[in-house]
Amino acid sequence: MKIGFFDSGIGGMTVLHQALRLLPNEDYIFYADTLHVPYGEKPKEEVREYIFNAVDFMANQGIKALVIACNTATSIAVDDLRQKYDFPILGIEPAVKPAVQSCKGKRKKVLVLATNLTLREEKFHNLVKSIDHHDIVESLPLPGLVQFAENFEFREEIVVPYLKERLSLFDLKQYGTIVLGCTHFPYFENSIKKIFPEEVDIISGSIGTAKNLKRILEARNQINNGTGNILFFKSGHKVDDNETLSKYNQFFGMLDRICSLKNGELNQQEKSKSINY
Ligand code: DGL
């Protein structure tokens, strides 16, 4: 059986990309609710309905596990989804805990970047309250990055001025860790890195979620020997046109480059190429 991945849009591919590294022999369904993106700017009840419709659709395809590869959807629906379906459901939430731990000794602050809806939700406030005993966590919604990613707009000359404007009132030297609390944001990691001092860490929950998925499948004896095949759906319709599929491939290529850059695997020539997606 396949593993389902769900997001409002192409952000979820940043989590799927990590899962493919850890579980390359699984088969996947990736569902992007592109008709209704952005979730982060819509009323909670409306978004809940979209999420349940999408997950019903995926459940009907027959999946052995579901990854809600969207912080916004996780924060408003993961508990209720787990009541309804009997396959394991994994969510993703802003990686506040590791960020606070790594900043504590450094006398630095944590900045969580996410959607408006995620940052407004009780789940996020409870998470911060349970971890942030020294008031070092701050947050900022960046809805523009979701739109940029959906429009395939990654040019630094467009993205960096947007980020500078949104961050103009922040003292950037104060931050030790930036948490990417929206799965659309890792595409912009290089632009974000440009704005903050060099030693800042940028983290997201995607590796942790992929590791959890592997652990759960192993515990249930459900590791596959498939082909790493991915079926893509957009709001209930199978994606089979070559233009969209090749765009998706480009997203994976970009994520490969971002990962290699982060892990120091690129030489100088490859590094300069990676700036122009
Ligand atoms: N990718 C989503 C997240 O992680 C939400 C983007 C949106 O639809 O606003 O929160």
| Sign of the CA dihedral running 165, 203, 173, 103 | positive
Q: How much distance in Å is there from the Cα of 185 to the middle of ligand 1?
A: 9
Atom of ligand 1 nearest to the CA of 114: 10
* 182 part of the active site: yes
- Which pLDDT score, from 0 to 100, does residue 267 have? 56
Q: Is the pLDDT of residue 276 over 50?
A: no
Cβ partners under 8 Å of residue 117, min gap 6: 39, 40, 41, 42, 44, 47, 72, 75, 76
pTM for this prediction: 0.93
What domains are there in the chain, each with its CATH number? 2-92+206-263 (3.40.50.1860), 96-204 (3.40.50.1860)
Q: Does the pLDDT value for residue 274 go beyond 80?
A: no
259 is catalytic: no
pLDDT of residue 75 exceeding 80, the answer is yes
Q: What is the predicted pLDDT for the residue at 228?
A: 87
What pLDDT shows up at residue 275?
36
Residue 188 has pLDDT above 80, yes or no: yes
Q: Which residues line ligand 1 (CB under 6 A)?
A: 7-9, 11, 37-40, 70-72, 115, 118, 146, 182-184
pLDDT > 90? residue 27? yes
Average pLDDT over residues 100-122: 95
pLDDT greater than 90 at residue 73: yes
**Mean pLDDT (whole number) for 93-121:** 95
